[in-house]
Amino acid sequence: MSEGKKPGGTKKTSGRGQRDLRVRVKSAKGRRLSSTLWLERQLNDPYVVRARKDGYRGRAAYKIMELDDKYRFLVPGARVVDLGCAPGGWCQIAVPRVNALGEKSGKKIGRVLGVDLQEIEPIAGAEVHQLDFLSDGADQQVKEWLGGRADVVMSDMAAASSGHKGTDHLRIVALIEAALHFAFDVLEPGGTFVAKVLAGGAESEMQALLKRRFRKVANVKPPASRSDSSEKFVVAQGFRGREDDVAAEQEADED
């Protein structure tokens, strides 16, 4: 029997196995344990490794990729607004899918507009602006940049953590609500709203609002979302229009 093999021709594993493939980070003086654990998780996250290889600015790119693969809202010709777009991974996915660079012959050319509080490195095929979407007139400014209304408003935003669970919960809910009302102002009828929400989906009042204003609402956790994360995403499709527009249409129908 040859050295290093068990009877039957099976190779001996030498006792090391797959565990040795995992990168372990040593604690450093002055660095908190939570930071060390975060760094270790990043280095061993297959989506982080894949993002570097594929040239995306973060693992979040795969979340919107997986959501669009399932719900098909980033179509050629679509006009997309990405709220809180830094570092830009969602925009990177949207650009080729809506044909923002016109590389798909015979297909409509879309637009990708990203806004964020901080400056963003340029993204090929996307128009990025430093803007607080909560500021007065932000919705009008976005429509001017787009040259009309959007077909998709998407958001992967998360409120800054305070370390207090109850406070953070309220901040997240408030941010989602603000993004939703912004979408009401800029979306075309039939448009789509995609946003990060809480583990149970949107809060009950917000869920009811979504179902009233959109024809189809789904709460989903894409595979790229970490299993230990409480995040999910809402995908609301078939925007019914602004309430005043809907009311006007109903009155016209009654007449």
Long-range contacts for 46-55 (Cβ within 8 Å, ≥24 apart)? 47/224, 51/89, 55/92
- Rounded distance between C-alpha atoms, residue 236 and residue 191, angstroms: 8
Q: Report the DSSP beta bridge partners of residue 80.
A: 112, 152
- Rounded distance between C-alpha atoms, residue 106 and residue 11, angstroms: 55
For 89: left if phi > 0, alpha if psi spans -120 to 50, otherwise beta; the answer is alpha
Do residues 173 and 139 touch, judged by C-beta distance below 8 A? Answer: no
- Cis bond upstream, residue 87 (ω within 30): yes
- Rounded distance between C-alpha atoms, residue 243 and residue 232, angstroms: 27
CA separation, residue 176 to residues 96, 119, 163 (Å):
27, 22, 19
Catalytic residue from among 6, 12, 165, 196:
196
Query: Binding site, residues?
Result: 88, 90, 116, 132, 156
User: CA 136, 141, 145 angle in degrees (round to 5)?
Assistant: 165
Q: Is 26 a catalytic residue?
A: no
- Rounded distance between C-alpha atoms, residue 58 and residue 91, angstroms: 11
Which SS3 state, helix, strand or coil, does residue 47 take? helix
Burial of 42 from C-beta contacts in 10 A (0-12 / 13-18 / 19+): middle
Query: Binding site for S-adenosyl-L-methionine, residues?
Result: 88, 90, 116, 132, 156
Task: Give the residue numbers marked as catalytic.
Answer: 196
